[in-house]
Chain A
Amino acid sequence: SQTIHQWPATLVQPVGSPLSLECTVEGTSNPNLYWYRQAAGRGLQLLFYSVGIGQISSEVPQNLSASRPQDRQFILSSKKLLLSDSGFYLCAWSRASGGSSEQFFGPGTRLTVL
């Protein structure tokens, strides 16, 4: 069966510090991978998606970047965190068999920027 992991589960960082959140998927190959941010009382906002190693697409301009160094690894980064980067970050995967495949979400990372 497939599983998706995220770490850390929670993170408190000062403004201006760097960020690295990691997501890994097990039990599948060549998945589509996604990073979402969820603000309180708001819907999930897609930040990045990837259809393959080294292939990253950004949905919204922001202070963050993403990388996919391996098939089942997706990393969310920032060089200098802003207060507005606080939120709940979710990684998800779906089969690469085309549109309308279900997305499976990880447990999330709660980021607080102080």
Chain B
Amino acid sequence: KNQVEQSPQSLIILEGKNCTLQCNYTVSPFSNLRWYKQDTGRGPVSLTIMTFSENTKSNGRYTATLDADTKQSSLHITASQLSDSASYICVVSMTGGYNKLIFGAGTRLAVHP
């Protein structure tokens, strides 16, 4: 069964601290993996995309890693800001067809001052 599992379910950190979110997937055939940021009550916005051959991708203070052998990804947030408070969703795309996406349930991050 194609699944994406994320941990932790929720996380609270202080402003300025770093954090790492985890994503494990069992999706085949694999095309790429994206991390989305979803603010409360808004649609998700893509942060990073990685294909099978990419190990790491950065977007400002966000750094994503991918281990295609163990089927694990992580999203590292550096020097967190209050505006980082959101849900972070790991999404795996399957090859072929109409671009089917498998979504994780997300990690809800709260950054406190």
Taking beta carbons and an 8 Å cutoff, which residues of A are in contact with B? 32, 41-46, 49, 51, 57, 88, 90, 92, 94, 98-108, 110
Contacts and interface: CB of A to CB of B under 8 A. Distances in A.
A51 B98 contact: yes
Contact of B31 (A46, A94, A100, A106): A100
Contacts of A100: 31-32, 93, 95, 99
A57 B97 CA distance: 12
B42 A108 contact: yes
B101 A106 contact: no
B49 A102 contact: yes
B42 to A, nearest CB: 6
Contacts of B95: 99-100
B105 interface: yes
A88 B43 CA distance: 10
Contacts of A43: 4, 89, 103-106
Q: Which of the listed residues B43, B95, B105 has the most CB atoms from chain A within 10 Å of its own CB?
A: B43
Interface in B12-59: 31-32, 34, 41-46, 49
B113 interface: no
9 smallest beta-carbon distances between A and B, as pairs:
A105-B43, A43-B103, A100-B31, A44-B103, A43-B105, A99-B99, A100-B93, A99-B95, A105-B44
